[in-house]
């Protein structure tokens, strides 16, 4: 084995995992007998339902006791594709925008792949119930985040992406090409 292959293998083991993207896992509490599911897709809306909580009832039935419906962020102003030049290729979407005040925050980001089309949705973080004592800055607040797309293992071809297509009409879609199967 050549030195360059050894270095590549070591880098893959120690560095690549830091770039991995994973949704939160469901959590079960034995103490309260509740199951929390971070998000659930609905139709064409990946991650639409968030923070679902179920309670175990008698007879092993489950009852949903809480759920929040995600709201797509409207303030996205730019989506930029970032594609690595290494193999396997990694694809990131740099999503930027500006909130009109300090209350909104970035929430969950979800995606769905249908054929060669990525549907990416960025939601607001669910806000707590305000009791009138919370004050938000009225200054505009810029935001920027990266969304990795799961492209490892995809076949060669042209792929498209769209971000928050329900609320945005410009600067939110594009394409990228994989010149070969994106896997070892």
The first and second tokens of residue 63, run together, are: 């009852």
**Domain range annotation of the chain:** 3-69, 76-178
pLDDT of 132 over the 80 cut? no
Is the peptide bond between 79 and the residue preceding it cis, with omega within 30 degrees of 0?
A: no
3-state secondary structure of 119: strand
- Which pLDDT tens digit goes with each residue over 29-62? 999 999 999 989 988 889 999 989 999 998 889 9
Q: Cα–Cα–Cα angle for 80, 81, 86, nearest 5°?
A: 145
- Which pLDDT tens digit goes with each residue over 17-30? 333 344 578 999 99
Report d(CA 53, CA 67) in Å as an integer: 6
User: Which secondary structure element, helix H or strand E, spans residue 13, and what is its range?
Assistant: helix 3-14
């Amino acid at each position: 084995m050549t030195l360059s292959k050894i270095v590549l293998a070591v880098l893959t083991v120690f560095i690549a995992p830091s770039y991995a993207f994973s949704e939160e896992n469901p959590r079960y509490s034995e103490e309260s007998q509740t199951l929390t599911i971070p998000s659930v897709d609905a139709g064409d809306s990946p991650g639409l339902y968030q923070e679902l909580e179920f309670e175990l009832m008698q007879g092993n039935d489950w009852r949903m006791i809480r759920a929040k419906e995600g709201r797509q962020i409207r303030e996205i102003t730019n989506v930029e594709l970032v594609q690595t030049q290494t193999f396997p290729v990694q694809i990131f979407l740099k999503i930027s925008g500006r909130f009109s005040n300090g209350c909104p925050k970035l929430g969950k980001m979800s995606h769905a792949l249908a054929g060669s089309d990525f549907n990416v949705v960025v939601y607001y973080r669910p806000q707590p119930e305000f009791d009138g004592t919370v004050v938000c800055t009225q200054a505009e607040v810029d935001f920027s985040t990266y969304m990795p797309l799961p492209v490892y293992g995809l076949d060669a071809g042209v792929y498209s992406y769209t971000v928050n297509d329900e609320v945005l009409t410009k600067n939110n879609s594009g394409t990228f090409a994989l010149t070969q199967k994106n896997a070892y």
